Amino acid sequence: MIRIVARSVVQTYQKEEYLRLARELIVQSRKEPGCISYELYEDIHNPNVLTFMEEWEDQTAVDRHNNSTHFQTLLPKMQLLCVGSTEITLYRTAHYE
């Protein structure tokens, strides 16, 4: 399982448009094979910080998602509404047992 945390800072006056595009991305991504969850969160202390938290079955599913038409079409549009670039981190479960 791979977990992705993708944090963006949206421009205040563009937030509504960003959420509209995010909604489309979420709806399409959840239909993909290997998508376990795909959620969007807002920083409680800074509502312009919007972070996707995703769970994917494996790297193949992540690669397929990154190459999907909806991702390739929507992401550039969403990035134009943000300040700076999106910080993306890929995680695996830590083994602490």
Q: Which residues bind its own copies (CB under 8 A)?
A: 2-3, 5, 19-20, 22-23, 26, 39-45, 49-51, 53, 89-97
How far apart (Å, rounded) are the C-alpha atoms in residues 9 and 56? 24
CB of 58 to its own copies, least distance (A): 12
- 3-state SS class at 27: helix
CB of 47 to its own copies, least distance (A): 9
Taken as a whole, the chain contains a residue count of 97
- Distance between alpha carbon 67 and the CA centroid of its chain, in Å? 14
CB of 24 to its own copies, least distance (A): 9
